Amino acid sequence: MVQPSDVAFAALFVSAAAVIVSIATFYLGHTRLNISEQIRISRDIGDRIRTQHRIIHFWPFKNAASLSGRESQIEIRGALDSLVSELRYFVFFVEKGVIEEPAILEYYGKQLSGVDTTIKHLVSEHANLNEYPPTKEITNLIKEYNSLAGKKKRYRIRK
Mean pLDDT of 109-121: 95
| CA atoms of 115 and 10, how far apart (whole Å) | 62
- Per-residue pLDDT tens digits for 135-156: 999 999 999 999 999 876 544 4
Is the residue at 26 inside a domain? no
- pLDDT for the residue numbered 159: 41
pLDDT score of 46 more than 80: yes
Cβ neighbours of residue 82 under 8 Å, at least 6 residues apart? 48, 52
Number of domains in the chain: 1
Cβ neighbours of residue 88 under 8 Å, at least 6 residues apart? 141
Model confidence band, residue 115 (pLDDT cutoffs 50, 70, 90): very high
Question: What average pLDDT does the chain have?
Answer: 83
Is the residue at 89 inside a domain? yes
Residue span of the structural domain in which 96 resides: 38-155
- Per-residue pLDDT tens digits for 120-138: 999 998 888 888 999 999 9
Is the residue at 29 inside a domain? no
Mean pLDDT of 52-56: 95
Is the residue at 22 inside a domain? no
- pLDDT for the residue numbered 150: 85
- Per-residue pLDDT tens digits for 77-96: 999 999 999 999 999 999 99
Is the residue at 77 inside a domain? yes
| CA atoms of 37 and 99, how far apart (whole Å) | 9
Is the residue at 28 inside a domain? no
Is the residue at 27 inside a domain? no
| CA atoms of 98 and 32, how far apart (whole Å) | 14
